[in-house]
Amino acid sequence: MKKFLTAGLFAITLMAANEVNAQAKYGYISTQELVSVMPEAAKADTTVRQLQEALVQNLKDKQATLESNIEKFYKDSSTLANAVKEVKRTELQKMYQDLAGEEQRIQQQLQERQQGLMGPIYKKAMDAIQAVAKENGYSYIFERESVLVAPPGDNVLSLVAKKLSIKLPANASSNQPSGMATPPATTPAPTTTTKDPKTKN
């Protein structure tokens, strides 16, 4: 009797699970692709690029100043007292060390700025996805690039874009899986090539 009840309960549970799965509606979206067509993302990218250009120019100016100071130091070296030479050499060495760490500081500043700008944009995208899921009866919406095996479903990119009043470009992905859009990469800061003043006599 106990075995019969257990088997019956299992069958009922299995039928209920199949019924729920049959009623579930699945969707897919590439969040990265969505964000890439949002106007806010283009503005954020422009802001980051402008900051990068300013920081790189500042680095170049510092590099040119250091090279000029080194050249002047060795040009005037024969007329300077040893104590003055030591002070100036120390100053140049400090300038060189500061410049050597400038590239890393630039990259860190750019990354922090980009994260600060993109955070609200990703939140807006997620809010729109959740609203579309609720309005259109989707039980699940998966990140397209993260799913290897999943039930058949719809690409809801066009629905979310419409929710955000965004016109998708002609090459936007269809229901078929495709590679995710890659955000524009920031060009690295120029490499510091100024010679260490200690290497010269």
| pLDDT by 10s per residue, the chain, length 201 | 444 334 433 443 344 444 445 578 999 999 999 999 999 999 999 999 999 999 999 999 999 998 998 888 888 888 888 888 888 888 888 888 888 888 889 999 999 999 999 999 999 999 999 999 999 999 999 998 888 887 889 999 999 999 999 988 887 665 444 333 333 334 444 454 555 555 454
pLDDT digits (tens, 9 = 90+) for 128-143: 999 999 999 999 999 9
Compute how many other C-beta atoms are within 10 angstroms of the C-beta atom of residue 173.
19
Q: What is the pLDDT of residue 21?
A: 52
